[in-house]
Amino acid sequence: MNQMKLMRPVASEEVFERLEEKFGAVIPADVKAWLLANSRGIPAEKEAVLGGKTRLVAGFLSASLRDRMNLYALTGMLPQPEDAVFVPVAGDGFGGYYGLRCGKESAPDVAYYDAEKGSFEKAAEDFGSFLAALGFEL
Protein backbone atom coordinates (compact mmCIF):
# COMPACT_ATOMS: atom_id res chain seq x y z
CA MET A 1 0.00 0.00 0.00
CA ASN A 2 1.35 3.40 -0.98
CA GLN A 3 1.72 6.26 1.54
CA MET A 4 0.69 9.89 1.05
CA LYS A 5 2.55 12.91 2.38
CA LEU A 6 0.16 15.83 2.82
CA MET A 7 1.56 19.29 2.32
CA ARG A 8 -0.34 21.72 4.56
CA PRO A 9 -3.66 20.19 3.61
CA VAL A 10 -6.35 22.68 2.73
CA ALA A 11 -9.51 21.84 0.84
CA SER A 12 -12.99 23.14 0.20
CA GLU A 13 -16.20 21.87 -1.38
CA GLU A 14 -16.40 25.25 -3.14
CA VAL A 15 -13.89 24.08 -5.76
CA PHE A 16 -16.31 21.35 -6.86
CA GLU A 17 -19.32 23.68 -6.77
CA ARG A 18 -17.53 26.07 -9.13
CA LEU A 19 -16.45 23.24 -11.44
CA GLU A 20 -20.05 22.18 -11.79
CA GLU A 21 -21.43 25.72 -12.20
CA LYS A 22 -18.93 26.97 -14.78
CA PHE A 23 -17.93 23.81 -16.67
CA GLY A 24 -20.76 21.36 -15.97
CA ALA A 25 -18.22 18.90 -14.52
CA VAL A 26 -19.98 16.60 -12.06
CA ILE A 27 -17.50 14.76 -9.85
CA PRO A 28 -18.80 11.59 -8.15
CA ALA A 29 -19.13 11.92 -4.34
CA ASP A 30 -16.52 9.23 -3.54
CA VAL A 31 -13.96 10.83 -5.87
CA LYS A 32 -14.69 14.26 -4.42
CA ALA A 33 -14.22 12.95 -0.86
CA TRP A 34 -10.87 11.37 -1.77
CA LEU A 35 -9.61 14.54 -3.46
CA LEU A 36 -10.66 16.67 -0.48
CA ALA A 37 -8.89 14.34 1.97
CA ASN A 38 -5.72 14.19 -0.15
CA SER A 39 -5.52 17.76 -1.45
CA ARG A 40 -1.90 18.57 -2.32
CA GLY A 41 -0.79 15.03 -1.43
CA ILE A 42 2.52 13.65 -2.62
CA PRO A 43 2.63 9.86 -3.09
CA ALA A 44 5.72 8.07 -1.72
CA GLU A 45 5.67 5.70 -4.71
CA LYS A 46 5.28 7.84 -7.81
CA GLU A 47 5.49 5.32 -10.67
CA ALA A 48 2.46 3.48 -12.01
CA VAL A 49 1.45 1.65 -15.17
CA LEU A 50 -1.29 3.83 -16.65
CA GLY A 51 -2.68 3.46 -20.14
CA GLY A 52 -0.17 0.66 -20.79
CA LYS A 53 2.84 2.90 -20.04
CA THR A 54 4.97 3.38 -16.94
CA ARG A 55 4.25 6.93 -15.84
CA LEU A 56 5.13 9.31 -13.03
CA VAL A 57 2.54 10.86 -10.72
CA ALA A 58 4.41 13.55 -8.78
CA GLY A 59 1.52 14.86 -6.71
CA PHE A 60 -2.17 15.61 -6.41
CA LEU A 61 -3.49 19.10 -7.02
CA SER A 62 -5.08 21.41 -4.51
CA ALA A 63 -8.81 21.28 -3.84
CA SER A 64 -8.78 24.75 -2.30
CA LEU A 65 -9.54 28.10 -3.90
CA ARG A 66 -6.93 29.60 -1.56
CA ASP A 67 -4.22 27.99 -3.69
CA ARG A 68 -3.62 29.69 -7.02
CA MET A 69 -3.08 26.43 -8.92
CA ASN A 70 -6.16 24.46 -7.87
CA LEU A 71 -8.44 22.01 -9.70
CA TYR A 72 -10.85 24.77 -10.75
CA ALA A 73 -8.19 27.25 -11.93
CA LEU A 74 -6.33 24.64 -13.98
CA THR A 75 -9.54 23.41 -15.59
CA GLY A 76 -9.96 26.92 -16.99
CA MET A 77 -6.32 27.21 -18.08
CA LEU A 78 -5.77 23.90 -19.85
CA PRO A 79 -7.04 22.98 -23.32
CA GLN A 80 -10.21 20.90 -23.24
CA PRO A 81 -11.13 17.80 -25.26
CA GLU A 82 -14.05 18.24 -27.67
CA ASP A 83 -16.40 15.73 -26.06
CA ALA A 84 -15.84 16.28 -22.31
CA VAL A 85 -14.52 18.53 -19.56
CA PHE A 86 -11.00 17.70 -18.38
CA VAL A 87 -10.57 18.35 -14.65
CA PRO A 88 -6.89 17.91 -13.72
CA VAL A 89 -6.32 16.12 -10.40
CA ALA A 90 -2.60 15.25 -10.43
CA GLY A 91 0.58 16.32 -12.18
CA ASP A 92 3.57 14.43 -13.48
CA GLY A 93 6.07 17.16 -12.55
CA PHE A 94 6.92 17.87 -16.20
CA GLY A 95 3.87 19.88 -17.30
CA GLY A 96 1.58 16.92 -17.94
CA TYR A 97 -1.62 16.31 -15.99
CA TYR A 98 -3.88 13.41 -15.09
CA GLY A 99 -7.50 14.36 -14.91
CA LEU A 100 -11.09 13.29 -14.83
CA ARG A 101 -12.58 13.39 -18.31
CA CYS A 102 -16.19 14.20 -17.45
CA GLY A 103 -18.62 13.47 -20.26
CA LYS A 104 -22.27 14.37 -20.22
CA GLU A 105 -23.52 10.78 -20.58
CA SER A 106 -21.04 8.66 -18.63
CA ALA A 107 -18.98 8.38 -15.45
CA PRO A 108 -15.58 10.06 -15.79
CA ASP A 109 -12.53 8.13 -16.90
CA VAL A 110 -8.98 9.33 -16.23
CA ALA A 111 -6.98 10.84 -19.08
CA TYR A 112 -3.41 12.08 -19.33
CA TYR A 113 -2.80 15.47 -20.92
CA ASP A 114 0.63 15.56 -22.59
CA ALA A 115 1.63 19.23 -22.64
CA GLU A 116 4.43 18.66 -25.18
CA LYS A 117 2.11 17.02 -27.70
CA GLY A 118 -0.98 19.00 -26.73
CA SER A 119 -3.02 15.81 -26.68
CA PHE A 120 -5.09 13.62 -24.37
CA GLU A 121 -4.89 9.86 -23.96
CA LYS A 122 -6.76 7.47 -21.71
CA ALA A 123 -4.85 6.54 -18.56
CA ALA A 124 -7.46 4.54 -16.59
CA GLU A 125 -11.07 3.37 -16.84
CA ASP A 126 -12.04 5.33 -13.74
CA PHE A 127 -10.57 7.13 -10.72
CA GLY A 128 -10.58 3.95 -8.61
CA SER A 129 -8.44 2.16 -11.21
CA PHE A 130 -6.10 5.16 -11.40
CA LEU A 131 -5.63 5.09 -7.61
CA ALA A 132 -5.21 1.30 -7.57
CA ALA A 133 -2.34 1.58 -10.08
CA LEU A 134 -0.65 3.89 -7.55
CA GLY A 135 -1.37 1.58 -4.61
CA PHE A 136 -4.23 3.61 -3.11
CA GLU A 137 -7.89 2.83 -2.52
CA LEU A 138 -10.86 5.01 -3.33
**Domains present along the chain, CATH in parentheses:** 4-134 (3.40.1580)
The answer to whether 90 and 98 have CB atoms below 8 angstroms apart is: yes
Tell me the pLDDT band of 8, cut-offs 50, 70 and 90: low
For residues 52 and 123, give the distance between their C-alpha atoms in angstroms, rounded to a whole number: 8
Contact present, 25 and 86 (Cβ < 8 Å) = no
pLDDT digit string, tens, across residues 38-93: 999 999 999 999 999 999 999 999 999 999 989 999 999 999 998 899 999 999 99
pTM of the model: 0.93
- pLDDT surpassing 80 at residue 20: yes
Question: What is the number of residues in the chain?
Answer: 138
Instruction: Write the pLDDT tens digit of every residue in 21-42.
Output: 999 999 999 999 999 999 999 9
The radius of gyration computed from the CA coordinates of the chain, to the nearest angstrom, equals 13
**DSSP tally for the chain: helices H, then strands E:** 4, 9
